């Protein structure tokens, strides 16, 4: 192995004493491949098995905590106890390959397709449609907000019972937790809206509910992470400064890690912070070594991954790259980095063990993946 890649393969001990065998994480990515009833499919299991041998931690696609939180066709569910056997199958298949299995939990809010939620009624912090969407959600009542917070705790309990090593709270990518934090989507006048501090109430209450479930149900170290998007393009919207304040509070919540959602690891702020230095640097300065940060965003080669680690992030998440090259970690370990694939061909589906719905999305979404032929 090239000695300069050694940092990628060093183990990492988290705050709760869980140990990851290396610094490479399979990023959470929707694969659209579960059964309509929300149970995990064989194709999905095979896809995860193929990608779980090398990474230290595998974060699954998101799973909804309530029936009205389902954000994607072919998403697997975690909203009732009947889902525990399905969740268990996925956890076991990942862990058998030697990776930590972390279940990403979320509520889609106003981003849910109406045909996937009861009575076609989408909900959010306020009755504000997302930009470009013709679908206006209904504002949740205070009681409903409390029920959703409790549902995050209940889904965490199911994850523990199903044998996961942890959960990741999905507060990113415009879904419900972010909708409560954003001045674009949260116009509430109760305790869940108004000032920046009040807009943090829902995200922080979700963290508390998840941690309470862990305390009550987990018998061994159980990882709790939180994913966030640093900014929104909308005006008004979340600014880098808003996020730095949220991150400051989250850094003292006893979480095991934070995970920033970026398309480009080196991207710089749009507004609300010094635009000459990358967002990652702002975040690391604010976190001040209080907990690990996972960085992500168009990292493909081991050199790019090592450069990312050198900023001070504790882990790098690979998404599209581990779809194109499931043996990425093994090739780094074996000194075969020159053989790492960073493109895919239209003939590669079977070789890469990619379920049909995800494959169709890959080949029919121009610019998402580097498809050659």
- Residue 258 backbone dihedrals phi, psi, to 5 degrees: -115, 155
Q: How far is CA 261 from CA 236, 253, 265, 267, 297, in A?
A: 20, 19, 9, 11, 8
The answer to whether 54 touches 327, Cβ cutoff 8 Å, is yes
Q: Tell me what the pLDDT averaged over the chain comes to.
A: 97
**pLDDT confidence of residue 132:** 81
Q: Return the DSSP state at 114.
A: G
Q: Return the DSSP state at 80.
A: S
Cis peptide before 121 (omega within 30 of 0): no
Q: Beta-carbon neighbour count of residue 107 at 10 Å?
A: 28
Span 3-341 CATH architecture:
Alpha-Beta Barrel (3.20)
Q: Tokens standing for 221?
A: 């170290």
Residue range 63-101, pLDDT digits in tens: 999 999 999 999 999 999 999 999 999 999 999 999 999
Q: How far apart are CA 305 and CA 262, in angstroms?
A: 14
Q: Tokens standing for 155?
A: 């889904």
**pLDDT confidence of residue 131:** 86
**pLDDT confidence of residue 373:** 82
Q: Of the listed 48, 175, 226, 257, which one is catalytic?
A: 175
Q: How far apart are CA 275 and CA 267, in angstroms?
A: 10
Residue range 115-146, pLDDT digits in tens: 999 999 999 999 999 988 889 999 999 999 99
Q: How far apart are CA 170 and CA 176, in angstroms?
A: 9
Report field, pTM of the whole predicted structure over 0.75: yes
* Nearby residues of 222 by Cβ (< 8 Å), 6 or more positions away: 16, 18, 160, 164, 165, 166, 167, 214
**pLDDT confidence of residue 223:** 98
Active site (annotated) includes residue 175 = yes
pLDDT in tens, the chain (373 residues): 999 999 999 999 999 999 999 999 999 999 999 999 999 999 999 999 999 999 999 999 999 999 999 999 999 999 999 999 999 999 999 999 999 999 999 999 999 999 999 999 999 999 999 988 889 999 999 999 999 999 999 999 999 999 999 999 999 999 999 999 999 999 999 999 999 999 999 999 999 999 999 999 999 999 999 999 999 999 999 999 999 999 999 999 999 999 999 999 999 999 989 999 999 999 999 999 999 999 999 999 999 999 999 999 999 999 999 999 999 999 999 999 999 999 999 999 999 999 999 999 999 999 999 999 8
Q: How far is CA 311 from CA 265, 285, 304, 306, 365, in A?
A: 10, 11, 11, 9, 32
Helix (H/G/I), strand (E/B), else coil: 77: strand
**pLDDT confidence of residue 76:** 98
């Amino acid at each position: 192995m090239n000695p300069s890649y050694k940092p990628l393969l060093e183990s990492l001990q988290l705050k709760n004493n869980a140990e990851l065998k290396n610094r490479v994480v399979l990023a959470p990515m929707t694969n659209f491949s579960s059964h309509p009833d929300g149970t995990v499919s064989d194709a999905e299991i095979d896809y995860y098995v193929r990608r779980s041998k090398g990474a230290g931690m595998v974060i699954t696609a998101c799973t909804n905590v309530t029936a009205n939180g389902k954000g994607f066709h072919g998403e697997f569910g975690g909203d009732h106890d009947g889902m525990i056997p399905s969740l268990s199958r996925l956890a076991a298949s990942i862990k058998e390959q030697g990776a930590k299995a972390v279940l990403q939990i979320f509520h889609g809010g106003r981003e849910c397709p109406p045909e996937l939620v009861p009575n076609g009624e989408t909900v959010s912090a306020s009755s504000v449609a997302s930009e470009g969407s013709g679908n206006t959600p209904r504002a949740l009542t205070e009681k409903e907000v409390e029920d959703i917070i409790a549902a995050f705790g209940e889904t965490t309990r199911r994850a523990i019972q199903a044998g996961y090593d942890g959960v990741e709270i999905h507060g990113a990518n415009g879904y419900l937790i972010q909708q409560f934090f954003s001045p674009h989507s949260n116009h509430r006048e109760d305790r869940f809206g108004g000032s920046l501090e009040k807009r943090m109430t829902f995200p922080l209450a979700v963290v508390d509910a998840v941690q309470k479930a862990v305390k009550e149900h987990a018998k061994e170290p159980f990882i709790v992470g939180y994913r966030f998007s640093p900014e929104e393009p909308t005006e008004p919207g979340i600014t880098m400064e808003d996020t730095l304040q949220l991150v400051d509070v989250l850094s003292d919540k006893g979480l095991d890690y934070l995970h920033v959602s970026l398309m480009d690891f080196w991207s710089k702020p749009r507004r609300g912070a010094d635009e000459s230095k990358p967002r990652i640097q702002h975040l690391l300065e604010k976190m001040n070594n209080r907990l690990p940060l996972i960085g992500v965003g168009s990292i493909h080669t081991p050199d790019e991954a090592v450069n990312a680690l050198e900023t001070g992030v504790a882990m790098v998440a690979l998404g599209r790259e581990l779809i194109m090259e499931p043996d990425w970690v093994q090739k780094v370990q074996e000194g075969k980095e020159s053989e790492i694939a960073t493109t895919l061909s239209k003939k590669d589906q079977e070789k890469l063990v990619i379920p049909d719905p995800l494959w169709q999305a890959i080949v029919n979404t121009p610019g998402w993946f580097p498809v050659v032929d």
